[in-house]
Each structure stands twice: as C-alpha cells, then as structure tokens.
Amino acid sequence: MTELHRRIAAAQGYVELGLHAEAREELAALPVEAHGRVDVVELTLLCLMGERRWEEAFALAASLCLKEPAEPGGFIHAAFCLHEMDRTAEALDFLSRGPAELRKKPEFFYNMGCYHAKLGQQDKALRYLRQAFEMDPGLRHHARRDPDLDGVRALLQRSAATSA
C-alpha cells in the first residue's frame, strides 16, 4: 500500500469514527496533486459536514456535482447542506434535479421525504418515505428519531400499523 493510499484509508477510518480533525490532518499531508481526486474531495466534504460547516460543505458538494454530474453522492450531500442552512425548498429542488442514478438510492427517497415533511407537504413526504423504507427497511428505525419527521411521525406510525 502506498503512502497516498494509506493516508486516504486512514482519513476514511477517522471520518467513519467521527474524528474529523484527525481525518483532515491525514488529508492535509497528501501531496497537492491528490487534493483534486474525487475520493479526497468526498472525504473533505464529509469532514466539513461533520464539523457542521454547511456553507463550505455546500460549495464543495456543488463543485463535486459539476465534476461528477452522473454520481448521486454530491447531490445528496449538497441538498442536505442546503437543508441544514434552512434552505429546504432549495434542497428539494436541487436533489430533484440530480442524475437518474439517484432514484436507485434509498437516501434519495428518505431525504425527499424529510424535505417535504419540513415543508408541511405530508402526503408527498409519506410517499417518498414509504419508498425509502421499502428499499431499506433499516431507515424506518432512523426515522423514529429524525426531528425532520416530527410533523409526520404519527402518520408514519399509523401507516406502519396498517401495513403490518
């Protein structure tokens, strides 16, 4: 394993552990030419998001969308950053304009459900959330604690009870 790959793997591990400062140290030690690599940009983005530096994270995610327009990750992250900056309507629009590949991701449907819920659009929120839960039943557990879903939680519970 080369030093470059070792540092990237270490940064990935730190990100997974929520140790963003340590991850950023590993990334900072990379050669300058490595900073434009998509995997390094994504790790930097995850660090910024973990540090709740939403504006910087959004700018980096938006640049990732331009660099990799067919990849869903940048769109999911950019929309989430907008949402965290209380720009939920923009987040919804941004995510909905992403590549077709997004529609294969349960996170797309979950986030669309959250954004519609925050905007008071309960019927749309429930439709998206049902699709997310169908694709990844584990998201249902996460939804129980997600504050974005406070406005539709009772409806979700009733829906789950009637479909069980």
- Quote the pLDDT of residue 156: 80
Mean pLDDT value across residues 1-16? 94
User: Do 78 and 62 touch, CB atoms closer than 8 A?
Assistant: yes
pLDDT of residue 161 exceeding 60, the answer is no
Cα–Cα distance, 58 to 127 (Å, whole number)? 27
Query: What pTM did the predictor assign?
Result: 0.89
The pLDDT of 124-139, averaged and rounded, is 96
Dump pLDDT digits (tens) for 56-107: 999 999 999 999 999 999 999 999 999 999 999 999 999 999 999 999 999 9
At 154, is the pLDDT very low, low, confident or very high (cuts 50, 70, 90)?
confident
pLDDT at 113 over 80: yes
